[in-house]
């Protein structure tokens, strides 16, 4: 529980209604979108709800003076424990800072606050013929600030790229309370790319208070195709064949039979229940190009054993197909009380063997696994289904998830695709980064946050503190020079 003196200072800075310190009020902030049985629950000492960048500055200065940790939080939809206050302290909930401050269609950008819901931005700019391309499946609830923190992706990142490709500039409050603007609307800003450094830093370097985001012109035409396959292997082969043909879909998603069962029972989206896997494929662009690519993709899918290829004929049908994909996680409650969602990446050509390995792990640990993922860029999302109240289930889930991550890294993949590192993945980083790599990252963290108060215990492996950076650097230098380090 926060000290009364701290609460009094925060209330004086923000107003009593913007400071939560009652235990019953804090309960909802103990978690994020990750499973509580796996990520744990961590109650902050106090939650603040600032409405301006200046109020965020005041909060940070109070925290610094008191030596209290600071954790920034958006919509709380993150799936890696990144917005949980592990060491307590002050949790800065940015949901009241949700305004669109400027829309500039001539220069194709919007200036927004971090608490703005992702989908709200595209719905607002669509009347002018523009949209914000990054579209996580949680876009109806996740915030722009959270997208920036985790460098979020989504189905359409195959063509348009992840969040970092759509952030032109940021206003941030640094750990010392300074308010800083980085980047801007011009195509190339000289100097160190601080915007790129801050995107994906998971709140460890600063708190975003404004974001200048790139707006993308709405396409002339869009087609959505549904292709059903008799096996996951056939669907995976179709993914590689489509990309190899020189076609770059806007989105290329895959769902297996278990996912189809849950989605159809919940939403009646129109997926064939007898398919072993389906691909949801979106093409956009000029009318003639879309028509040609749709024809080509249909032929490729048929050559890869597709049992059905259907092009959505109305906007309502397109929306329903996408609802089934983006709301798939919500349908999993029909299959099991709990799920653990993995987030790893493999090269596209490794999809068949990787999905086969996932099936083997599922059988080894006697845990059903539903697959729904961004097939076009190899970003896997196996959902391991379990019951947290069943003895041994949590332990088996963790072991199964670990085996999946190890396999993906062995075949040339990455530890995380879009959900971030947070608490969940931090101990896997030594599998892909050397000690020198981690020391360089920790050195960057120290240059922004020498007191290590911003989102502590995230990203870096357990037992690897930023305070060890100097020793690690000296050891690495000594090794290169061939001398003993004392």
Position 485 scores a pLDDT of 43
pLDDT tens for each residue of 444-453: 999 999 999 9
What are the beta bridge partners of residue 225?
Answer: 281, 311
CB 35 within 8 A of CB 397: no
CB 213 within 8 A of CB 262: no
CB 88 within 8 A of CB 43: yes
pLDDT beneath 50: ranges in the chain: 477, 485-486
Domain(s) labelled CATH 3.30.70.2190 in the chain stretch across 220-335
Distance CA 206, CA 198 (A): 7
Domain with CATH 3.30.465.10 in the chain: 100-217
Q: What is the CATH number of domain 100-217?
A: 3.30.465.10
Architecture of domain 4-93: 2-Layer Sandwich (3.30)
CA distance 254 to 231: 12
pLDDT digits (tens, 9 = 90+) for 269-327: 999 999 999 999 999 999 999 999 999 999 999 999 999 999 999 999 999 999 999 99
Q: Which residue spans of the chain are classified as CATH 3.30.43.10?
A: 4-93
C-alpha distances in Å from residue 188, one per residue of 29, 168, 191, 444:
39, 9, 9, 23
Whole-model pTM?
A: 0.93
CATH class belonging to 220-335? alpha beta
């Amino acid at each position: 529980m926060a000290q009364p003196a701290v609460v009094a200072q925060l209330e004086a800075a923000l107003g009593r209604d913007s400071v939560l310190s009652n235990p019953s009020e804090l309960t909802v902030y103990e978690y994020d979108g990750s499973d509580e049985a796996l990520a744990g629950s961590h109650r902050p000492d106090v939650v603040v709800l600032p409405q301006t960048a200046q109020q965020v500055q005041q909060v940070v200065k109070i925290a610094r003076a008191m030596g209290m940790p600071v954790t920034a939080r958006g919509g709380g939809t993150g799936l890696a424990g990144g917005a949980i206050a592990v060491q307590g302290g002050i949790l800065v909930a940015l949901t009241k800072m949700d305004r669109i401050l400027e829309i500039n269609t001539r220069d194709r950008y919007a200036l927004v606050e971090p608490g703005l819901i992702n989908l709200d931005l595209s719905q607002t700019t669509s009347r002018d013929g523009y949209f914000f391309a990054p579209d996580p499946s949680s876009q109806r609830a996740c915030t722009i600030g959270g997208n920036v923190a985790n460098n979020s992706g989504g189905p359409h990142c195959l063509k348009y790229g992840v969040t970092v490709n759509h952030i032109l500039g940021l206003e941030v409050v640094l750990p010392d309370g300074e308010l800083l603007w980085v980047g801007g609307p011009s195509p190339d800003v000289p100097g160190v790319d601080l915007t790129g450094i801050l995107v994906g830093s998971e709140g460890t370097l600063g708190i975003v208070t404004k974001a200048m985001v790139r707006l993308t012109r709405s396409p002339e035409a869009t087609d959505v195709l549904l292709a059903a396959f008799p096996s996951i292997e056939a669907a995976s082969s179709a993914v590689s064949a489509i990309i190899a043909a020189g076609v770059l879909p806007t989105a290329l998603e895959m769902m297996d039979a278990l996912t189809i069962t849950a989605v159809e029972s919940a939403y009646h989206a129109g997926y064939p229940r007898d398919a072993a896997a389906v691909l949801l494929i979106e093409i956009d662009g000029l009318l003639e190009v879309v028509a040609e690519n749709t024809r080509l993709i249909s032929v490729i899918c048929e050559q890869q054993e597709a049992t059905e290829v259907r092009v959505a004929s109305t906007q309502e049908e397109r929306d329903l197909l996408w609802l089934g994909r983006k709301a798939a996680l919500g349908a999993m409650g029909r299959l099991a009380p709990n799920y653990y969602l993995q987030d790893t990446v493999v090269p596209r050509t490794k999809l068949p063997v990787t999905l086969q390995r996932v099936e083997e792990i599922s059988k080894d640990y006697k845990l059903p696994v539903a697959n729904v993922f961004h097939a076009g860029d190899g970003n896997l999302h196996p959902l391991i289904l379990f019951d947290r109240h069943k003895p041994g289930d949590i332990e088996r889930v963790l072991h199964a998830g670990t085996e999946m991550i190890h396999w993906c890294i062995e075949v040339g993949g990455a530890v995380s695709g879009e959900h971030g590192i947070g608490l969940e993945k931090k101990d896997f980083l030594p599998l892909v980064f050397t000690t020198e790599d981690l020391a360089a990252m920790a050195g960057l963290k120290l240059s922004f946050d020498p007191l290590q108060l911003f989102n502590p215990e995230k990203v870096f492996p357990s037992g690897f503190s930023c305070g060890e950076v100097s020793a690690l650097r000296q050891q690495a230098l000594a090794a290169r020079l061939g001398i003993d380090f004392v």
